[in-house]
Amino acid sequence: MSAPRIGRSALKAAKGPAPGVPRILNKTQPSPAPHRAGVPLPKRANPHLLNLSSESQTRMSPRIMTMLGVSVLTIGTYCGYLYTSYRREVAQAQLMNVPEDVSDRYNHTARTFDADVELSEKLMRIGKKRRDLVQQARGHVLEVSCGTGRNLEYYSLGARGCRSVTFVDLSPEMVEIAQEKFGKLHPGFKWVEFRAQDAREVPSPSHNRGQEKVAYYYDTIVQTMGLCSMPDPAGTLRHLGALTEPQQGRILLLEHGRSHYDWLNRVLDNLAPAHADRHGCWWNRDIGQIVRDSGLEIVEEQRWHFGTTWRYVLRPRRS
């Protein structure tokens, strides 16, 4: 038994029962010395209490006290600084008049995009989530909003995996970077195409049979972190559904947006205009609502990071 426990039980024994609680005496034990109700026993009357002060007193060294004080002061100052910066950013963000369509921002940020997102993706282990999703891609594949090609290394290319891949992004600068990366990663793979194009305008894939053009479907459509940037996310998903093979085809999404928690959503909402204006991304979108509005069928749904990272496997709704 530890010293404080001995101390507490000794105290209890010394004070007697709580008021109103009848005291049951064990006849085999000698009864305690009688004393008047409400008058506490003198400390020296109990041998346990005599030892109490020397046992329970632990002195903290002045050095540790100083270090603790300095740490508390530093953390307090830093939190104060963060809070002040947050309030200032919120005040500025509320005054901004940011258009809904901020997708043109990527033309200016393309060259620094990878460096900008690298650390946060590492900390959140987004690379693994990209790999787990993209490894499911099979057959004729379309990736929209491909950006700088952060998924390229995860594709399994070839007859047993992805037979052909088409990469599309609205920003020609982003597509150019993705194409450069692909050339280095998969120099021998020929069934690949890169296009600077709006995802809403991607046509069905087709091949020539004699003079005739025969349209077919994509087996897999991939999009990661794209719904936050487009002006009509539900309409775009609906369009992608029309390009997907109706029986076995899948749309694979890894997105970011609103959280499970109101306090975090308030932070996202407060800073959204400033973030959208700078980075071309509305980080407070309700991804679940967008998916439901698209009318696609949900095969799988998962969320991480307080609910802000969303993964979906979708397919065209069967009529």
Kindly list the residues in this chain that would bind ligand SAM in the complex (CB under 6 A).
103, 106, 144-147, 150, 168-171, 174, 198-199, 224-226, 229-230, 281
The least distance separating ligand SAM from the CB of residue 142, rounded to whole angstroms, comes to: 11
Q: Is 108 helix (H, G, I), strand (E, B) or coil?
A: helix
CA distance 304 to 259: 9
The least distance separating ligand SAM from the CB of residue 2, rounded to whole angstroms, comes to: 55
Nearest to ligand SAM of 198, 277 (CB atom):
198
Instruction: Tell me the residue nearest to ligand SAM as measured from the CB.
Output: 147
Q: Across-strand partners of 214?
A: 207
CA distance 310 to 291: 11
Nearest to ligand SAM of 52, 240 (CB atom):
240
Nearest to ligand SAM of 144, 268 (CB atom):
144
The least distance separating ligand SAM from the CB of residue 104, rounded to whole angstroms, comes to: 8
Local structure of residue 244 (DSSP, 8 states):
B
The Cβ of residue 180 has, within 10 Å, a number of other Cβ atoms equal to 13
The least distance separating ligand SAM from the CB of residue 150, rounded to whole angstroms, comes to: 4
The least distance separating ligand SAM from the CB of residue 294, rounded to whole angstroms, comes to: 14
The least distance separating ligand SAM from the CB of residue 237, rounded to whole angstroms, comes to: 11
Nearest to ligand SAM of 93, 126 (CB atom):
126
Nearest to ligand SAM of 138, 200 (CB atom):
200
CA distance 284 to 243: 28
Structure tokens at 190: 């020929």
Nearest to ligand SAM of 230, 276 (CB atom):
230
CA distance 39 to 286: 66
HSE value, Cβ hemisphere, 13 Å, CA-based, for 197 = 15
Find all residues with CB under 8 Å of 46, minimum gap 6, and list them: 10, 13, 14
